[in-house]
């Protein structure tokens, strides 16, 4: 018994040590992806393009554009701001709509545009008393929340809100002195006709090119995709006993191993085909829009779909290829690792994909840039492009997923042969270990170790006492007594 206790104690300690190291490593992988997000906010590029002072109003000295750029520079100098980049109008062919197209094409997370001739139009409204002047026509902010609703709501939108408040609140105090310095009296300002040209003077029109919604879209591009991994992983344990029936059939010869490999692969991929259809039906059942035409690249559009009425089919094919990429990797690792270590693989596979797929890698340390090649990142990006008609990188996303499927297909037969060899090896080693175990137990019973003597001290004493009693009682004769109790006691001793 002492040997069993020692053996169990060693296995218990070893298993806890392995689990502790694995849990620490895997969870640190997830925590680390979010650890430096605030410090890396500068990686979120934001265009700042000043079109103020363009022809035909070149005679007017720009004031709005330089004022907004100074305010942005002060925000940047204070720290904690996105990566504002001051670009020239010539980089966009002097067309503000091309700036919007640049945001749509993922060249920047957002853009701040000072509209052409903002100063000239504002000053003319003051001088001429233009009551139709709209301060919202001076500047514009463009972003794309469907690209990543978490990053947009956490960093882009708050930064743009801070910028708007700062510019609008400070502009009036600078604009009126500027007018007075321009030889304009208060009677020339036509405050009664166009007061909005004095205060606030300018404001920002906000354009969210692809608003994120409806709420049911959240699981389709985030947490719901974890179930693709889980379903594909557990298909191995569900279907393996079914496949193994070919090796021990009744009434006909067993299937050749190469044929079994082909059957397993075809059956597995076919199962992914059907299960991915069921998964895709869930989003459709809860009325995720999948039949709308695609939208404009420069104007806000709510819930456009990339492929119109064919969106669901493309969405299904993406889930099928993604599940195949996840599943073949899990199948191969399950055959290589065996139980119970496949559970650790599932934890790693889920955490590594979640850490690199659900959060903007621009905000993560460079260590995580391998996530661009991970399946989940490409599935999430492609799903957003399909459901929200975002900038198409579908060819790249599908290409990476097909690469995972190809590698998994090549390794699949090799892992099958390894599993067969390893299973036979484990059986041989188990038989040898059992024989060695029995020999060790017999040896310990004959010559117990110090640990055995310590751990079985109480049981050894009890055993010796019982043996002495049995030895002593075997030679004793019961004495005659007249009492029934004494006779019963003598009978029990005998």
pLDDT score of 456 more than 90: no
Proportion of the chain above pLDDT 70, given as a percent: 84
Lowest mean pLDDT among 59-63, 385-389, 436-440, 487-491: 487-491
Distance from C-alpha of 223 to C-alpha of 167, rounded to nearest angstrom = 38
pLDDT score of 230 more than 60: yes
Work out the widest C-alpha separation in the chain, in whole angstroms: 140
Q: What is the mean pLDDT of residues 109-124?
A: 91
pLDDT of residue 473: 54
* Helix or strand (DSSP H, E) at 411: helix 394-446
pLDDT of residue 484: 47
Q: 206 with 138: CB under 8 angstroms?
A: no
Of 227, 392, 216, 234, whose CA–CA distance to 322 is shortest? 227
* Helix or strand (DSSP H, E) at 5: helix 2-35
Q: What is the pLDDT of residues 340-378, one digit of tens each?
A: 888 899 999 999 999 999 999 999 999 999 999 999 999
> What's 125-170 look like in SS3?
HHHHCCCCCCHHHCEEEEECHHHCHHHHHHHHHHHHHHHHHHHHHH
pLDDT score of 480 more than 60: no
pLDDT of residue 438: 72
pLDDT score of 388 more than 90: yes
Lowest mean pLDDT among 14-23, 334-343, 454-463: 454-463
- When comparing pLDDT for 448 and 240, which is higher? 240
pLDDT score of 257 more than 70: yes
Percent helix / strand / coil, the chain, rounded to 5: 70, 5, 25
pLDDT of residue 74: 93
**Strand, coil or helix: what is 206?**
strand
Tell me what the pLDDT averaged over the chain comes to.
Answer: 85
Q: DSSP secondary structure string, 300-348?
A: --SS--TTGGGHHHHHHHHHHHHHHHHHHHHHHHHHHH-TTTHHHHHHH
Distance from C-alpha of 257 to C-alpha of 82, rounded to nearest angstrom = 58
pLDDT of residue 249: 65
Q: What is the mean pLDDT of residues 408-420?
A: 92
pLDDT of residue 494: 38
Q: 356 with 343: CB under 8 angstroms?
A: no
Of 345, 325, 308, 104, whose CA–CA distance to 225 is shortest? 325
- Token pair listed for 248: 């021990």
Lowest mean pLDDT among 12-16, 31-35, 80-84, 430-434: 430-434
- Residue 468: band (very low, low, confident or very high) from pLDDT cuts 50, 70, 90: low
Q: Residue 214: is the preceding peptide bond cis (ω within 30°)?
A: yes
pLDDT score of 46 more than 90: yes
Q: What is the mean pLDDT of residues 402-419?
A: 94
pLDDT of residue 452: 55
Q: 348 with 21: CB under 8 angstroms?
A: no
Q: What is the mean pLDDT of residues 331-347?
A: 88
Of 125, 109, 296, 110, whose CA–CA distance to 204 is shortest? 110
- Output the CA–CA distances (angstroms, integers) from residue 137 to 40, 69, 309, 456, in the order listed: 32, 17, 37, 89
pLDDT of residue 476: 46
* Helix or strand (DSSP H, E) at 49: strand 45-50
Distance from C-alpha of 67 to C-alpha of 60, rounded to nearest angstrom = 15
Q: 147 with 109: CB under 8 angstroms?
A: yes
Q: What is the pLDDT of residues 174-229, one digit of tens each?
A: 888 888 877 676 666 677 778 888 888 899 999 999 999 899 999 999 888 999 99
Proportion of the chain above pLDDT 90, given as a percent: 51
pLDDT of residue 469: 62
Cβ-count burial 366-388 (b if 16+ within 10 Å, e if not): eebeebeebbbbbbbbbbbbbbb
Query: pTM score > 0.85 for this model?
Result: no
* Helix or strand (DSSP H, E) at 416: helix 394-446
Q: What is the pLDDT of residues 61-90, one digit of tens each?
A: 889 999 999 999 999 999 889 999 999 998
């Amino acid at each position: 018994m002492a040997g069993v206790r020692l053996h169990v104690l060693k296995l218990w300690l070893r298993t806890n040590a392995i689990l502790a190291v694995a849990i620490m490593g895997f969870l640190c992988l997830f925590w680390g992806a979010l650890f430096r997000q605030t410090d890396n906010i500068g990686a979120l590029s934001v265009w700042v393009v000043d079109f103020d002072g363009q022809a035909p109003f070149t005679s007017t000295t720009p004031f709005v554009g330089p004022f907004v750029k100074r305010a942005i520079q002060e925000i940047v100098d204070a720290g904690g701001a996105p990566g504002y980049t001051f670009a020239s109008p010539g980089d966009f062919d002097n067309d503000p709509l091309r700036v919007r197209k640049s945001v749509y094409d993922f060249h920047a997370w957002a853009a701040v545009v000072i509209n052409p001739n903002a100063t000239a139009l504002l000053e003319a409204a003051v001088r001429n008393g233009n009551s139709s002047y709209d301060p919202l026509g001076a500047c514009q902010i463009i972003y794309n929340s469907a690209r990543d609703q978490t990053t947009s709501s956490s960093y882009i939108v708050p930064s743009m809100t801070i910028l708007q408040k700062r510019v609008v609140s400070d502009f009036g105090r600078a604009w009126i002195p500027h007018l007075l310095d321009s030889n304009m009296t208060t009677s020339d300002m036509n405050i009664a006709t166009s007061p909005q040209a004095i205060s606030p003077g300018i404001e920002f029109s906000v354009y969210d090119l692809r608003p994120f919604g409806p709420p049911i879209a959240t699981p389709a591009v985030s947490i719901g995709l974890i179930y693709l991994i889980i379903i594909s992983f557990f298909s191995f344990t569900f279907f393996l006993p079914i496949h193994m029936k070919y090796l021990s059939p009744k009434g006909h010869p067993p299937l050749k191993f190469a044929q079994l490999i082909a059957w397993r692969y075809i059956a597995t991929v076919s199962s992914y085909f059907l299960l991915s259809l069921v998964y895709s039906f869930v989003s459709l059942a809860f009325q995720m829009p999948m039949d709308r035409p695609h939208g404009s690249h420069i104007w806000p559009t709510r819930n456009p779909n990339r492929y119109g009425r064919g969106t669901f089919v493309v969405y299904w094919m993406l889930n099928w290829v993604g599940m195949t990429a996840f599943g073949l990797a899990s199948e191969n690792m399950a055959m290589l690792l065996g139980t119970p270590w496949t559970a650790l693989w599932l934890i790693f596979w889920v955490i590594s994909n979640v850490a690199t797929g659900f959060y903007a890698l621009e905000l993560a340390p460079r260590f995580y840039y391998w996530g661009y090649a991970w399946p989940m990142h490409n599935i999430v990006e492609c799903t957003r492009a399909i459901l929200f008609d975002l900038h198409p990188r579908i060819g790249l996303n599908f290409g990476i997923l097909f690469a995972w499927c190809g590698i998994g297909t090549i390794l699949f037969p090799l892992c099958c042969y390894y599993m067969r060899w390893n299973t036979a090896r484990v059986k041989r080693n188990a038989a040898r270990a059992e024989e060695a175990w029995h020999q060790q137990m017999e040896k310990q019973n004959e010559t117990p170790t110090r640990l055995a003597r310590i751990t079985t001290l109480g049981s050894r004493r009890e055993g010796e006492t019982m043996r002495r009693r049995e030895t002593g009682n075997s030679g004793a004769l019961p004495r005659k007594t007249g009492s029934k109790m004494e006779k019963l006691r003598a009978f029990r001793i005998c």
